[in-house]
Amino acid sequence: MPRKRPTQARARETVDAILQAATDLFGGEGYARTTTNRIAERAGVSIGSVYQYFPHKDAILAALFERHKDAVAATVGESVAALADSRVPLARGLQALIEGLCAMHDAQPRLTRAVSIHAPHTPRLDAALRKQEEAQVTEVEALLRARSDIRPGNRAVMAQLLALTTEALTRWLAHELPAELERRTVIDEIVRMLVRYLGS
């Protein structure tokens, strides 16, 4: 995380430039090949400015991870709220979840690549990710219990599988979908698969 929080507009602009440069380099060249000197050069700031806010490269990665985590939480939160409304058809709610996560990846593709594909695993980031995933699975489990159109079954296991499946598939859709496959068709098939798994 940042060494200190920027309070003035110019300081915030400097931090944003550093984080954007890191996003481009981590996502394009990979985390291992990126140095703080390269980040400073790309951001158009001195290396001293980088170290003023971030003590090392891992701290920059942690800040990017927090941004990504917040974006995922907001997207999932909106979708879960819609799915919790039993008046919303299950298929429509699941489609909104998949499309929302894809849109999040599309909005900042290099950021999602940087933190979900190129970033090394560290105990701190892994712990933060597990905490977020556990909270999201708890939310999903609650909505599965609340809906009358969900089949009988272990709601905790079903919620975990739904979370893992949507995460893996939306990452694949955003970053690895073969050119010959049309995204709209694939999303429709994913929704059908999930409805058949969850539906009564």
What's the CATH number where 185 sits?
A: 1.10.357.10
pLDDT at 121: 64
Average pLDDT of the residues of the chain: 86
37 and 56 Cβ atoms separated by less than 8 Å: no
Strand-pair partners of 150: 199
Is the pLDDT reported for residue 151 higher than 90?
yes
CA of residue 181 relative to chain centroid, distance: 23
User: Whole-prediction pTM value?
Assistant: 0.75
The answer to whether residue 45 is domain-embedded is no
Split into its structural domains, the chain has a count of 1
The answer to whether residue 121 is domain-embedded is yes
The answer to whether residue 173 is domain-embedded is yes
**Which segment of 11-20, 26-35, 121-130 scores lowest on mean pLDDT?**
121-130
The answer to whether residue 29 is domain-embedded is no
The answer to whether residue 188 is domain-embedded is yes
The answer to whether residue 20 is domain-embedded is no
What's the length of the chain? 200
Residue range of the domain that includes 187: 64-198
Confidence tier at 199 by pLDDT (50, 70, 90): very high
The answer to whether residue 149 is domain-embedded is yes
The answer to whether residue 90 is domain-embedded is yes
- Output the six-digit token pair for 129: 């990710």
Mean pLDDT of 25-31: 84
Mean pLDDT of 17-24: 92
**Helical pair 36-43 and 57-83, crossing angle rounded to 10 deg:** 70
Mean pLDDT of 58-72: 85
Q: In whole angstroms, what is the distance from residue 84 CA to residue 160 CA?
A: 17
**Which segment of 67-81, 140-154, 184-198 scores lowest on mean pLDDT?**
67-81
Is the pLDDT reported for residue 112 higher than 60?
yes
19 and 60 Cβ atoms separated by less than 8 Å: yes
**Helical pair 183-198 and 90-107, crossing angle rounded to 10 deg:** 140
Q: How many CA atoms lie within 13 A of 181 on its CB side?
A: 14
Q: How many CB atoms lie within 10 A of CB 169?
A: 19
